[in-house]
Amino acid sequence: MEFWETNGTIGNLGDFEDIIGGVTGCGNVIMAIKIANGENQCIVGIAPRECLVYAENGISCPFSGRERPKKLSALLKKVGVLETSASSVTDVCDWEEVSNIFRPGCDCEFNRGHTFVSCNANDDFHADSSLSESMKRCLCGLYNYLKMTEQEAYVQKFSLSDFRTSGFMHIDAGAVRALELFSLSYHQDAKGSAGTLYGLLNKCRTAPGQRLLREWLARPLCDLRQITDRQDVVESLVANSEVRQTLSDTLLPKVPDSTLLARKLVLSKAKLQDCYRVYQLAVLLRHFERALRDLFDNDEKNAAAIKDLMLEPICYALLHFEKYCQLIRSTVDEEYHDKTGDFRIRPDIDPELLRISDDMRDLEKKAEKAKSHIAKRLDIESVKLDSNPQLGFFYRVTLKEEKNIRKCKSISVIDATKGSGVRFRDGDLADINERYQVLNSIYRTAQQDLERKVIATCGGYASALNELSSALATIDVFTSLARLVTDAASEYVRPKLEPIGSGIFELRKCRHPVLEAMIDEHFIPNDVDLGTNRMVVLTGANMGGKSTYLRSAAISALLAQIGSFVPASYARLSVLDGIFTRVGASDQQTRGISTFMAEMLDSATILETATSNSLVIVDELGRGTSTYDGFGLAWAIAK
């Protein structure tokens, strides 16, 4: 018995990378936090690393002041952090403030006590004057923690960009939970999200598309032009059923998880099979370009948005991967792959490979002759000669012929199943197969140097593959949003959006999209009419639909700002800078917070953070105390 010493964590797979590297969830990010003292305030420097794509951008985002814990908590949910490593500096900031964010139930592992030291002066990011010392130490901490300095595959494979919080609607974890946008756990979203808005919208056909959809829900836009461009694309796909169905049913299901393939290329762990899958994706781009060109040509009104968001990225990828396709066609033996399902270098590249290939072809001809001989001997015309990389050559007949096969003593039965029938060999084929496998092994050894060169050349396309993955994910999400409209039993409309600060919030026959899809009964729609100086106080009997009314309005606003249509007959909305909720408070015993205290903390956060351009929904404020006190609190907070 052998024992192998391995190590890894939820965010840093380490030695388990090769074992579970093919498992793709919705996100997998590790974050470093450095607490430092600057101008009498605590500054949190953050540097996450996207594990699914090793060449993906890093992120930096400093916070300060009283807003720190809330913004840090919101970032954990938006980015999808699975593990956090924190520097053990205890004399400048109260650790409880940060560690409370990682309370029980949080889908993020918290490791305290790491030391983030400064990197060498010759490191690329050390010379970047735009980075604070805390950010540099965070990056160095991640480099050391992930053992990147020990692997040459990581060299010059990363770039750094800012994770901007401006330009996006503010949605914290409380709003995500109250509106049931998606599961706070990425793993739950990967398994299925019935009952959430993400589960309703997720008609994506690719893994990158599913991840991008979740990101859009977590970070709705505030830029009116960008929102309008997204709406234009969705509107065009809704109107053009032929292109929509081609993308959703024919092209997108054939797209592999290109981020996973890019990671293999970056780490030099790719095989010929992976390179060929990228080639198949590149060939598929021509069909994407044709479909999107048709959409562009037949929709003059929305042509600009279609070109910018979908068509141009695909056309760029087509040009970029043209030489890649030439490389694969000239080096990979496609004929051999079509015949055996296996991959190898073309024999005409090297004289030695060509000689071995000719010998293998002679054995293939002998195997065909042996098949004709065994068919006559058994008097079974349906005998088929088959092969695969695991077994080599074998004969195959249907199960009803099994009795005739087993009567012959010179025949060795490999297996018998309903799906594949009876697989067997006789002495002649066994001898041919043995010699063929020896030649195949020699061929594999002889092609190793050429194979390494091909894979290394393909590795140079990892960055372009990441860009292509992003473009295809965007197309996938747009197609999913269009299918939401066309597949729905009730009406969805394109909302008319007004600039931020215009104070307009009008919905006619608004519905809750998730609840409507789950119930068999007719959903009763409602109107919502809010303005700059208007507040709605909603009263009514229990089970009357008050909470559903509140959530319907908030979800419609959120859908509008991700570029989607909304479940209503008419919608005219101002762009919001945030959605704040105080819904369904409960006690948190592990933190010593009662139900009443939780309500007050949420209310205080809303009063401190919300602006005149925010949407605030409050459900049963003050229910954690007496009716008299609760009414007084609600009155004071409302004023």
Q: CATH for 496-638, among 3.40.50.300, 3.40.640.10, 3.40.50.720, 3.30.950.10?
A: 3.40.50.300
Distance CA 30, CA 49 (A): 5
253/284 Cα distance (integer angstroms): 11
List, for residues 359-398, the tens digit of each pLDDT value: 999 999 999 999 999 888 888 888 899 988 888 899 998 8
Same fold, 14-165 and 202-335+459-487: no
pLDDT at residue 89 is higher than 50: no
State if pTM tops 0.75: yes
Residue (of 503, 508, 581) closest to 547 by Cα position: 581
d(CA 482, CA 204): 11
Where do the structural domains in the chain lie, given as residue ranges? 14-165, 202-335+459-487, 351-446, 496-638
Instruction: State the CB neighbour count (10 A cutoff) for residue 304.
Output: 12
**Given this structure, which CATH class describes domain 351-446?**
mainly alpha
pLDDT of residue 51: 35
Q: What is the pLDDT of residues 398-449, one digit of tens each?
A: 888 887 787 787 888 888 887 778 898 999 999 999 999 999 999 999 999 9
Percent of the chain at pLDDT above 90? 43
The whole-number pLDDT of residue 36 equals 56
197/176 Cα distance (integer angstroms): 10
Question: Is residue 88 within 8 Å of 112, Cβ to Cβ?
Answer: yes
Q: Each residue of 74-97: b (16+ CB within 10 Å) or e?
A: bbbbbbbbbbbbbbeeeeebeeee
Q: Can you tell me the distance from the alpha carbon of 285 to that of 496, in angstroms, rounded to the nearest whole number?
A: 34
Taking only the tens place, the pLDDT of each residue in 579-637 is 998 887 666 666 677 777 877 888 888 888 888 899 998 887 777 677 778 788 888 88
Query: How confident is the prediction for the chain on average, in pLDDT?
Result: 80
For residue 286, give the 3-state DSSP assignment: helix
Q: Does domain 202-335+459-487 have CATH number 1.10.1420.10?
A: yes
- Domain 14-165: give its CATH code: 3.30.420.110
- Is residue 204 very low, low, confident or very high in pLDDT (cuts 50, 70, 90)? very high
* Residues β-bridged to residue 59: 161
- Please, are residues 553 and 507 in contact by the beta-carbon 8 Å criterion? yes
